[in-house]
Amino acid sequence: MEQKLCIYMDDDNLEDLMAPYVTVLTRQAQKVKVSFTVEFYKRIQYLHRRITRVTYSGWTDVENLKSRD
């Protein structure tokens, strides 16, 4: 069975969104399938941290996207 996972992108998460930000993979009417990568940082010691990059993909309404122009 396919897992149904979601992530809410608040202002704190948006700071960690990596370029090129959101990539449009597919368009169907008013919906688009997008992909984006987020970096998460976890401080391990004073000068050391662990960086995890996670790529998400999913469907959203075309109105939720903003042009980079």
The pTM for the full model equals 0.58
How far, rounded to the nearest angstrom, does the alpha carbon of residue 57 sit from its chain's CA centroid? Answer: 7
**Phi-psi category of residue 13: left, alpha or beta, with phi > 0 → left and psi -120 to 50 → alpha:** alpha
DSSP H helices in the chain: 11-14
Contact of 52 with 44, CB cutoff 8 Å: no
More confident residue, 16 or 57: 57
Phi, psi of 7 (to 5 degrees): -135, 135
Query: What digits encode the pLDDT tens for the residues 1-49?
Result: 456 566 666 777 666 666 567 889 999 999 999 998 887 777 777 777 7
CA distance 50 to 67: 32
